[in-house]
Amino acid sequence: MMYPMIGKRYRCKDCKEAIGFDLCEACYNTSSKLPGRFNQQHTPDHKFELDDTQLLCRILMFRAMPEVDPQQDVAEADLPDDDQQEHANDDHVPEGNQNEDKIL
């Protein structure tokens, strides 16, 4: 058994173990459901069902993540529009201070 499982997860409906006996999609689609695999006690008449509880958690977590434009600079993404304009003009000297260094 691999952890974390990749792909669909199938749970044995007939095994009563507290930890449950899950199979990944690849193992479910092969003969690995036979008794003794991964120390599981399946018999050929055991039934499996698709367990999509983890899939739902991943979908909800993905939807909760904020969308970020991959083309946008990370520093720009954190600044509101007004701040971006202020930082773009950092090299600009205010008019009242332009002549301070000049000797009249």
CB count within 10 Å of CB 84 equals 13
Nearest to 40 by CA among 27, 54, 26: 27
Q: What is the pTM of this model?
A: 0.42
104 residues of the chain, pLDDT tens digit each: 456 667 788 888 887 766 666 778 887 787 655 555 566 666 677 788 888 776 666 677 777 777 666 565 555 555 555 544 555 555 555 555 555 555 55
CA 97 to chain CA centroid, nearest Å = 51
